[in-house]
Copies of this chain bind each other. A is one copy, B any other.
Amino acid sequence: MKWTELCDETCPVARSLSVVGDRWTLLILRDAFRGVRRFEQFQTNLGVTRHVLVERLRRLEAAGVLRREVYQERPLRHEYRLTERGKELSPVLVLLGDWGGRHLPREDGTRLTYAFRDTGEAIAPALADARTGRLVDPRNMTARIEPPEAPPETLAAMPAGDAGSA
């Protein structure tokens, strides 16, 4: 299987990985969430080679995850900003970081913690259902493939909630 064929896969995980599933892309996004926007800064922070960085930024732009925006006219310069679609990847990075923090500790013991900005309360990241707020135990979860936007009576009794518009 060629890597580029993943975008046609039935599994949405595979399709996601066709965009973010390489060595550098998620690190680029991590930096983007930290506020990095400029080419040079990505390059310096990550230590990725320049042509790889160009290629990844182009791919993320093509996927609608980043947007290229002019920030200076006279020598024409662009910066890369997260789109809404890109920002929605934030929870993935948070959970990934949390996992790494718990299972791959640093030698020196420093660790990254998350907290609510408003209350300062520490966050223990977990998966939940957006509508009910109920926490999701993976063992109590099923996944299944559904046909195109058919109104399946099995689940259609739900109120039309805003599914993840952020």
Chain A residues at the B interface, C-beta cutoff of 8 Å: 1, 3, 7-8, 10-23, 26-27, 30, 45-48, 63-64, 85, 87-104, 106-118, 120-150, 154-155, 158, 161, 163-164, 166
Contact = CB atoms under 8 A, between A and B. Distances in A.
Given A7-B104, A104-B19, A130-B135, A148 B92 contact: no
B110 A99 contact: no
A120 to B, nearest CB: 7
Contacts of A85: 103
Given A11-B112, A88-B99, A147-B109, A127 B94 contact: yes
Given A22-B23, A110-B163, A135-B133, A142 B115 contact: yes
B12 A101 contact: yes
Contacts of A150: 109
Decide if the interface of chain A is mainly helix, strand, loop or mixed: mixed
A137 B133 CA distance: 12
B19 A22 contact: no
Contacts of A148: 108-111
